[in-house]
A and B are shown apart, each in its own frame.
Chain A
Amino acid sequence: MAAASQADIKIHMRDLSKVFETRKGPFVAIDRLTLDIPTGCFFMIVGPSGCGKTTLLRILAGLESQSAGELVIDQPKTSQRPGNSMVFQGDSLFPWMNVWDNAAYGLHMRRRPTAEIKEIVGHYLARTGLSKFKESYPHQLSGGMRQRVSIARAFANDPDILLMDEPFSALDEQNKLLLQEELLKIWEETRKTVMFITHSVDEAVTLGDRIMVMSAHPGRAKTIVDVPFARPRSVLELRAQPEYGEFVYQIWGHLRDEVHRARALDEAGVA
């Protein structure tokens, strides 16, 4: 990890901080985060609610700027590819566009040829099980279906870095499993750099190469752990291994302390 050369680092953060100015005064959402994410890494972020996970992703997406510190994202200048695409937390589909137009949004904005849009969007709607609903509007879909459209939208855009903010949280167990398998397959094909936020330790261990456990108030990296399981992975086979359970337990240990601490702070009114 330390031996990784500069060229292999996709995202480089040094003492990155984010302070929000609120009515009650400045609020430190992220406190001096230092992190190097190698190209092609499937990077998982877990941490208690409100610890700054979404804020971090929004900074990486360029939707928010850091208050202090250094952020360098290695982007090939010649590439046609968009730098990053985000699967937003919660509902983010345009209510005025049908499923197809929502999924094709990034390609439309970049004025890709119609034939290409047709092929790519058709492909990802099929892989997320939405082909039959391409004419539907978001209000006609279930919460899980909407989230799948939002995933298809990000994949269809074929970005250099995928930013996924709890993309599977509104899904039922079965669909979650299917989409985790699907995501692993797509990732094996493309080996994109992925930043993935989740509340599920199981999900973090199943999908990730590396897991960052964050602490709350202020948001810091508590521990960063490499996931020891080989690829390609199958979700169910992986979970059947005894080592899997041990590893999940270990991560849970780190997280549990933080969740308790965050709760205590919330109750004391620090947040």
Chain B
Amino acid sequence: MTATSSQPQTWLKLMQGQRELILNIVSPLIMLLAWEIAARLGWIDVRFFPAPSKIFATLIKLIETGALWKHLSASMQRLFWGFLFGGIPALLLGIAMGLNRTFRAVLDPIVSATYPIPKSAILPLILLIFGLGEASKIVMVAVGIFYPILINTIAGVLEINKIYFDVSRNFGARGWQVFRTVAFPGALPLIMTGIKLGVGMGLILISLAEMVGAKSGLGYMMWNAWEILSVETMYVGLLVIAALGIVFTLVLTEIERLIVPWKATR
């Protein structure tokens, strides 16, 4: 009895898994279809909600003219440099603050005071200091990425079991060696969390920064679409940014699996 009854159960589970997968694909499709129909029948205002087919056609057009690629690569470059200029200092400072009590005592109040300031609110100041060129965009991204990585790195180092520092001391590790063999790898799981959060923050801030005084980038593309009333282009911009978010998350999760193998549950 028990043997036979377990089989239908596994089947049920399999079917449930498949059902979920199918639902995952079908439900957005149905929504798009409903949207398309509603737009064509004039139930919704197409000035604000253009039909998905129109948006898709615009996407194709923007790809063909090379405009999308130009804006995308401009944004990616700013994101990349911002990531470098914000992330690396955050990482080094975070490990130093995690390792050194005095350092932490001195800098903690400054970090706690500046962290909650909405990064979008400092855009005017950044523009004032760095001008309308590339620098202000990169600085915006860098500032946005800096905090999540810094705070997670500090937490990551503080979370490392004290015994690992004892071991490294007992076996003769000094200074940089402790950093390289204990503090950094030990904090890595939380550093990766910080990077994921930071990249998300970077995407938000780059779109915003590009809406003000830029001549390229996804943010500019969307802002410009508003000025020329090309709603479809706005939607293409949203679509591309959403896709970027998904791709970054997938890639970072995969990287995490590779470089933090000891956290894997196998």
Q: Which residues of A are interface residues toward B (Cβ below 8 A)?
A: 58, 61-63, 82, 84-86, 88, 90-92, 94-97, 105-106, 108-110, 137-140, 153, 157
Residues of B near A94 (CB, < 8 A) are 164, 167, 181-182, 185
- Contact B171–A106 (Cβ < 8 Å): yes
| Beyond known contacts A94-B182, A140-B266: 12 more, CB 8 A cutoff | A58-B166, A63-B169, A82-B171, A92-B167, A96-B186, A96-B262, A105-B167, A105-B168, A109-B168, A109-B171, A110-B172, A137-B262
Task: Given A85-B170, A137-B261, decide whether A109 and B164 contact each other with a Cβ distance below 8 A.
Answer: no
B120 within 8 A of A: no
B177 within 8 A of A: yes
Residues of A near B188 (CB, < 8 A) are 96
| Alpha-carbon distance between A58 and B165 when the two chains are bound, in angstroms | 13
B21 within 8 A of A: no
Nearest-neighbour CB distance to chain A for B220, whole angstroms, equals 43
Residues of A near B169 (CB, < 8 A) are 62-63
- Contact A157–B171 (Cβ < 8 Å): yes
How many chain B residues touch A (Cβ–Cβ < 8 Å)?
21
- Contact A63–B266 (Cβ < 8 Å): no
Closest chain A residue to B188 by CB distance? A96
Residues of B near A140 (CB, < 8 A) are 266
Residues of A near B181 (CB, < 8 A) are 94, 97, 105, 108-109
The 10 closest A-B pairs by CB, nearest first: A96-B185, A106-B171, A95-B262, A109-B172, A109-B173, A86-B170, A137-B262, A92-B163, A105-B171, A63-B166
| Alpha-carbon distance between A86 and B168 when the two chains are bound, in angstroms | 11
Residues of B near A105 (CB, < 8 A) are 167-168, 171, 181
Cross-chain contact of A88 among B166, B177, B182, B262 (Cβ < 8 A):
B166
- Contact B262–A139 (Cβ < 8 Å): yes
Residues of B near A108 (CB, < 8 A) are 181
Q: Which residues of B are interface residues toward A (Cβ below 8 A)?
A: 163-164, 166-174, 177, 181-182, 185-186, 188, 260-262, 266
- Contact A61–B262 (Cβ < 8 Å): no
Q: What are 8 inter-chain pairs, A to B, with CB distance below 8 A? A: A86-B170, A94-B181, A95-B262, A96-B185, A106-B172, A108-B181, A139-B262, A140-B266
| Alpha-carbon distance between A140 and B264 when the two chains are bound, in angstroms | 10
Closest chain A residue to B172 by CB distance? A109
Residues of B near A139 (CB, < 8 A) are 262
Among B168, B182, B262, residue most surrounded by chain A Cβ atoms (within 10 Å)? B262
| Alpha-carbon distance between A68 and B242 when the two chains are bound, in angstroms | 64
| Alpha-carbon distance between A90 and B186 when the two chains are bound, in angstroms | 18
Task: Given A105-B181, A109-B177, A140-B266, decide whether A82 and B163 contact each other with a Cβ distance below 8 A.
Answer: no
Nearest-neighbour CB distance to chain B for A89, whole angstroms, equals 9
| Alpha-carbon distance between A84 and B260 when the two chains are bound, in angstroms | 31
Residues of A near B171 (CB, < 8 A) are 82, 85, 105-106, 109, 153, 157
- Contact A82–B167 (Cβ < 8 Å): no
| Alpha-carbon distance between A91 and B169 when the two chains are bound, in angstroms | 16
